[in-house]
Amino acid sequence: MHGSCNELQLTLGRMDWLYLSFQSAQPENSDAATSALPLDWNKATSIYDFHAKDIDGNEVSLRKYQNFLVELYDKYAERGLRILAFPCNQFGKQEPGDEATIKKFAGDYNVKFDMFSKIDVNKDSAHPLWKWMKVQPKGKGFLGNAIKWNFTKFLINKEGQVVKRYSPTEDPLAAESDILKYL
């Protein structure tokens, strides 16, 4: 799925984002794409060890994104950047709707990037992917690793490693120069 950052900024202020940058496609039905989750998120070696439910409730292996270049803006679509959005209701209960409501809201604004089911990003109930990203050397936050508010962003390289974490207050355009390094 492709979408513009402007759509993302304007319409999905209640979501956390994951920017991914990869190179060439790997078939979704490959053995790697169907590998099992690690028993313990601490044993993961990259984001490709995780699964998440998409907005329609389908289990998606993040290996699907391995060897893709995930884009921030439509202007980089041909170069491979993708945006993954994970709705979260842990911040002021700003995302109370169910997946169908969230999907309709995003669709009303012609959002086309990959959306996943609502998850927790903090506490014991946090999705394993988010637990893992927050403790990576370049995924650690300011004043602790907890996600402070919606719009926390992670930039992931083609190897599935966190290369930078952006605070909720950082303009997504500020990430553009970093993203270009990995396209």
Dihedral angle over CA of 169, 172, 178, 182, nearest 10 = 130
Q: What is the pLDDT of residue 128?
A: 93
Q: What is the pLDDT of residue 12?
A: 34
How many domains are there within the chain? 1
With 0-12 / 13-18 / 19 or more C-beta atoms within 10 angstroms meaning exposed / middle / buried, residue 9 is middle
* Measured torsion, CA atoms of residues 17, 182, 32, 35, in degrees rounded to the nearest 10: -30
Residue 80: its pLDDT value, please? 67
Q: Among all chains, which residue has been given the structure tokens 């803006």?
A: 73
The values of phi and psi at residue 16, to 5°, are -95, 150
- Separation of alpha carbons 137 and 85, rounded Å: 22
Domain CATH for 79: 3.40.30.10
Segments forming the whole domain that contains residue 125: 5-182
pLDDT tens for the chain, residues 1 to 183: 333 332 222 223 345 555 544 333 333 443 333 344 445 888 887 777 888 889 999 998 877 765 433 345 466 766 767 778 888 999 888 788 899 998 887 777 666 678 899 999 999 999 999 999 999 999 898 888 999 987 788 888 888 899 999 887 777 767 788 888 887
pLDDT at position 115: 86
